[in-house]
A and B are shown apart, each in its own frame.
Chain A
Amino acid sequence: MTARRAAVPADAAQLSVLNQFLRDFGSAVALDAAQVQTFELALEEIFLNIVMHGAQPGSTPLVEVSLDRAAESVTMTVEDDGPQFDPLSLPPPDVTASLAGRPVGGLGVFLVRNMMDTISYARVAGRNQLRMSKRLGG
């Protein structure tokens, strides 16, 4: 198993740093471009949620991302020390609504849930912890 970890402040400007981290991990453990992209999408959505929900006056949460490659799957864990927030508690968007009736937000977490095989949230020692994994191949 190969694992890597990165930590950045919850600031949208850090997204490119996380993407580079993800791509480096992808090359190190021989993921294909489509697999890397699935995790890039998940990380963008989850990270931006933390940026939007986690900011408080005078304090920016720290976000830690760890990636684990096992034989058959990749697991990504995103932790932050911001206020308690479970993104999985958000109601799913109505994906059948008409063009005019479509809300402009709320799709990010929905996409992540649908692209990953497993996803779970826990509040651990004052930190939000979101863990998601996807099987490789098949």
Chain B
Amino acid sequence: MNLQIEAMGDVTFVEPAGRLDFDAATGFQEALERTLGGAGKPPAAVIIDGTRLDYVSSAGLRAFLLAARSAQRAGIVFALCALQPAVREVFELSGFSRIIPVHADRASALAQAQQGRT
């Protein structure tokens, strides 16, 4: 799967494209851990933009869960936004939308992340 990682100030946006299945999950999780660790100063927030994410299986959910835990330990805000309907359904059925914040779009995710810091 392709990943676009974009730092805007102290917020890092990660935009995965394609399928987050068993084959892609490990690489995705490693990329998230690197992003959370930061090269130098870690970000204040990591926001996953799901605009181009077509598919998530339980292996993909596991990657999100482990990354969300790492973020929590490091005091980094971790959130999702702009999920496609099929992916959103998987997050809702699994109860993950209750433990990882899901926002409508980047702007509202960013607003929430900034609010969390003030």
A interface, CB within 8 angstroms of B? 12, 15-16, 34, 37-38, 40-41, 44-45, 48, 95-100, 102, 104-105, 107-108, 110-111, 114-115
Contacts and interface: CB of A to CB of B under 8 A. Distances in A.
Interface residues of B, number: 25
Nearest to B86: A37
A97 B110 CA distance: 26
Q: Chain A: interface secondary structure?
A: helix
A96 B59 contact: no
B98 A41 contact: no
Given A95-B94, A98-B99, A99-B69, A15 B22 contact: yes
Contact of B68 (A16, A45, A97, A99): A99
B93 interface: yes
A45 B58 contact: yes
A54 B92 CA distance: 30
In order of increasing CB-CB distance, the 9 nearest A-B pairs are: A95-B95, A108-B58, A107-B58, A99-B99, A44-B57, A114-B93, A104-B62, A107-B94, A37-B86
